Amino acid sequence: MAKAVYQDSSRKVSERVEDLLSRMTVEEKIGQMCQAPADKPGAEDALAKGFGSFLTVYGEKAAKLQETALKSRLGIPLIFGIDAIHGHNFYFGATVFPTQLGLSSSWNPALMETVGRVTAKEMAVTGVHWTFSPVLCIARDLRWGRIDETFGEDAYLIGELACGMIRGYQGHSWSDENAVLACAKHYAGYSEGEGARDASEAWHTERRMRLTFLPAFEAAARGACATFMVAYEAIDGTPCSANPWLLKTVLRDEWGFRGFAVTDWNNVGYMVSLQHTAATIADAAKIAIEAGNDMIMNTAAFFEAGVALVKEGKVDVALVDEAVRRILTFKFELGLFDGKRRGDKSKEREVIATQEHRAASLEAAYQSIVLLTNRDSALPIGKAPKRIAAIGPNADDVKAQLGDWVHNDGQPRENVVTILDGIRKRAGKGCEVVYARGCDTIDPSTEGIAEAADAAAKADVAIVVVGDTVAYTGEGRDRANLDLSGGQQRLVEAVRAAAKKMVVVLVNSKPLSIPWLVEHADAIIEAWNPGMEGGTAVAGIIFGDRAPSGKLTISFPYHVGQQPVYYNQMPGWHSNAKYVDMPKEPLFAFGYGLSYTTFAYSNLRVADARLKSGQPLCVSVDVTNTGKRAGTEIAQLYVQDLVTSATMPVKELKGFERFDLAAGEKRTLSYEVPYDRLAIVDRDAKRVVEPGEFEVMVGGSSRDEDLLKVKFEVAG
C-alpha cells in the first residue's frame, strides 16, 4: 500500500502536518494537547487515551512508551520532556553544571551555549527531546524560593544569557541529532508574586510587564526558542493560562512566536482548585484553549473536558487544530515520525559525563565564582600551609553543592568533587587537611562547634564553607529570613575567635544577608551551587591557580528588610534616600566582583554626542590591567535617560564584554548600542525613544563609584 502523505519523509513538513490533521478524530487531537508525568499514577491510562507527551522520563521507560504509542491507529509518536535545568540531572550520573544563578555570574553567553550543548547531547542519547529550560524569570525579591534557577536581576542580561543557552540546546538545525527543544519559562511575571510567595497573585500593570518582565522573553521568542511555559500565577486577577493578551497578542502577534506554549504543572486544574476563576474543569479547559495554550501539563481531566467541549460545539475545533498543528510540526521536524530520536542505551557511557563534559562543568564553575572580599590580599594562599582546617556543613555536602533540580539520590559520589575533596587534592601531601563539619544548616544545635574551633586554632588557615541547603530552596520553598540558618552563625563566630586566618566559602542558592561575615572574614568567596567539579574550582581559586573572574548578577542585601535592593531602582525615594536604621545601598551590588589583579578605566568617549533618529550610540573606553598578574574583566555599559515622560530606572544595563588582559596590558573596548535600546516605556506602555539628554556609564560594576560617565543627546 502507498504511504500516507504524513508518513512520507520526502514531503514537506507542512504537508505532512495537514494530512495527519485531516485524519485525526477529536479524541486524537485533544490527546496531542495533553502531557502526563511518566513517574506518577495514571501514566498507562494517559497512554491509552493517546496523550501526546510525557515528562520526567528517559531511557528504557521512554522507549517502551514510544513503542506503544507507535502502535496506535495513526502511529503518532510521543515527545518527551524533562527539567534539565543545569544539566541532564535527573539522569543518575549526568554532567552537573553550576545552577543557573551561578552560571550567570560568568556574564558569558558563549559558556551558556556550551552548557546547553552538553546537556542536549546527554538528553538526546537517553531519548529525551525537550528541556524545560532556560528560566527567564527576573530575580529581585530574594525571599522567593526559585532564585537559584534564574539568571539574576537584569532583564537585558537574562535575555542575552538565555539566548546563548537556547542556541546550545537547539543547535543550528533540527536535523542535528543532538538538538532538543528549549523552553522559555515561566511566562511571565512569576518571580514577584505578593510577598515573594511562590505562584501567588502578582500585581503587575501592562507597563511594568513591558518594562521588567517581558524583554527577556521577547529576546527568546525572536531568538527562535521552540516552546514557552506559561507561569502559574494570576496577574491582576487573570491567571497566565487564561490570558489571551499574554499568549496571543504579545507572544504571537507582536513577537511572531511560531512554537507551542505549554502550561506549567496543572495550571488548568488550579483555575478550579486554587485560583477559583473557573467553577468546573470544563470551564477551565475552555478558558485555556481560547486563551492560546497549546499543551496542558498534568491536568488529566482536561482530556475528557476538551473532547466534550468540541463535540458539544462550545469550543471551535479550529482552535484545537491550531494547537495540534504547532505540536505536530515539531514532532515532524525532530524526525519522530521517521524513526529518529529514540535514544541509544549502548552509547550512553560514551556520551554521559565524559571527560570533555566534566571539563566544561569545571570551566563553568571557575567562571561562576565571585570573590566578594579579600582583606589584605588574604587570597590566594599561594604555597600550601602546613595545616588547613576545612570546616562547615557545606564543605562535604554533595546535595548542597549540586543544588536543586538534581536526581533524588544526588549523583554518584565518585562523580562529585566536593570542596573538601578539592582542598585535599590541591593541598598535596605536604599539608595536613583537618575536617570538622561543625554544625548543621537547619538544626541550630551547637554540638560540634567546639571541635571546629579547636581545629581552626591549630591550623594556619580555616576555610569555612557555609550557606544554605536544598531544603531551603526551590519551588514552594520561600524564605522569610535570609540570615545564615541552623548553627552556622555561631560556628563562624567561634571559628573567627580561634583562627589565625578565616576564609569563607559560600555554597548557597541565593544571596544571604551576611554583614557580620563581611566585617570579620579575611576573604569571602561566593561559589553558589558550583556543580560536580565545584570543589576543584574553589580550591583552584583559593590556591591561586586561577584568578576569580565572576561578577554578581544579583545584589546582596544587608538585611531581608531591605528587599528589594536591585540596582536599577526607580527614582523618587524621599530626600533622605535611606532607611533610618540601615544603608540604602546593597551589601554587594549588581556587577560587582574582585580579582587577584586590578583594572583601571579611562578615556570614555562617544563617537557622536548628538544622535539622530535611528542612529546607534557608539562608545569607546580604555581598560588597563594595573596589577601584577593576568586577569579577566567584565566591563559593563549603563545608560540613563535623564528626563523622561514616565519614571524610568536610575540606570539600565545596555552592553557588556568579558575579556582577558595580561599584567600591564591596555585594551580599547568599543560598544554599539542600537538606537531602539535607548527607549523608555511610556505612560501608555509603548516603547519610544524620547529626545533629550542621556548619560552613558562604563565600568566594573553598577556602583556609581566604579563608573566613568559622559553625556550625549538624542535629537529626534
Q: Are residues 632 and 510 in the same domain?
A: no
Q: Are residues 486 and 551 in the same domain?
A: yes
Instruction: Give the CATH number of the domain where residue 610 resides.
Output: 2.60.40.10
Catalytic residue among 148, 264, 468, 641: 264
The C-alpha R_g of the chain, in whole angstroms, comes to 26
Percentage of residues of the chain with pLDDT beyond 70: 100
Q: Are residues 557 and 604 in the same domain?
A: no
Q: Are residues 556 and 604 in the same domain?
A: no
pLDDT, tens digit, 9 for 90 and up, residues 398-455:
999 999 999 988 899 999 999 999 999 999 999 999 999 999 999 999 999 999 999 9
Q: Is 270 helix (H, G, I), strand (E, B) or coil?
A: helix
- Considering the domain boundaries, does residue 537 fall inside one? yes
- Considering the domain boundaries, does residue 471 fall inside one? yes
Q: Are residues 445 and 535 in the same domain?
A: yes
What count of Cα atoms within 13 Å lies in the side-chain half-sphere of residue 674?
3
Contact 438, 487 (CB under 8 A): yes
| Distance from chain centroid for Cα 527 | 16
Is 376 annotated in the active site?
no
- Considering the domain boundaries, does residue 128 fall inside one? no
Q: Are residues 532 and 676 in the same domain?
A: no
Query: Which phi and psi angles does 707 have, rounded to 5°?
Result: -120, 135
Give the structural domain span for 400: 367-562
Instruction: Give the CATH number of the domain where residue 522 resides.
Output: 3.40.50.1700
Q: Are residues 606 and 515 in the same domain?
A: no
Write down which residue in 562, 588, 620 finishes a domain.
562
Residue 469 predicted with pLDDT over 80: yes
Q: Are residues 710 and 621 in the same domain?
A: yes
Helix/strand number for the chain, H first, E second: 22, 26
pLDDT of residue 410: 81
- Considering the domain boundaries, does residue 170 fall inside one? no
What's 200's DSSP letter?
-
Grid cell listed for 119: 546537556
The secondary structure of 308-377 as a DSSP string is HHHHTTSS-HHHHHHHHHHHHHHHHHTTGGGT-----GGGHHHHTT-HHHHHHHHHHHHHH-EEEEEGGG
pLDDT, tens digit, 9 for 90 and up, residues 304-334:
999 999 999 999 999 999 999 999 999 999 9
Q: Are residues 432 and 556 in the same domain?
A: yes
pLDDT of residue 384: 75
Q: Are residues 470 and 421 in the same domain?
A: yes
What's 560's DSSP letter?
G
Confidence of residue 343 (pLDDT cuts 50, 70, 90): very high
Query: Looking at the 3D structure of the chain, how many domains does it have?
Result: 2
Sign of CA dihedral 350, 354, 355, 360: positive
Report the candidate in 275, 328, 233 with the shortest Cα–Cα distance to residue 28: 328
pLDDT, tens digit, 9 for 90 and up, residues 632-654:
999 999 999 999 999 999 999 99
d(CA 483, CA 255): 41
Grid cell listed for 346: 549502548
Grid cell listed for 609: 554626542
Instruction: Give the residue-averaged pLDDT of 113-117.
Output: 98
d(CA 522, CA 503): 6
Helix axes 355-368, 109-125, angle to 10 degrees: 150
Q: Are residues 539 and 685 in the same domain?
A: no
- Considering the domain boundaries, does residue 350 fall inside one? no
Instruction: Give the residue-averaged pLDDT of 140-169.
Output: 98
Instruction: Give the residue-averaged pLDDT of 254-272.
Output: 98
Write down which residue in 537, 562, 587 finishes a domain.
562
Q: Is 109 helix (H, G, I), strand (E, B) or coil?
A: helix
Mean pLDDT of the residues in the chain: 97
d(CA 330, CA 174): 9
- Considering the domain boundaries, does residue 454 fall inside one? yes
pLDDT of residue 571: 92
pLDDT, tens digit, 9 for 90 and up, residues 23-78:
999 999 999 999 999 999 999 999 999 999 999 999 999 999 999 999 999 999 99
d(CA 238, CA 258): 24
- Considering the domain boundaries, does residue 227 fall inside one? no
Q: Are residues 375 and 499 in the same domain?
A: yes
d(CA 617, CA 399): 46
- Considering the domain boundaries, does residue 390 fall inside one? yes
What's 452's DSSP letter?
H
Between the CA of residue 595 and those of 278, 455, 562, what are the distances in Å? Answer: 55, 29, 27
Sign of CA dihedral 588, 589, 594, 599: negative
pLDDT of residue 1: 60
Residue 157 predicted with pLDDT over 70: yes
With the CA atoms of 517, 518, 519 and 521 taken in that order, what torsion angle do they form, in degrees rounded to the nearest 10? 60
pLDDT, tens digit, 9 for 90 and up, residues 573-595:
886 678 889 888 999 999 999 99
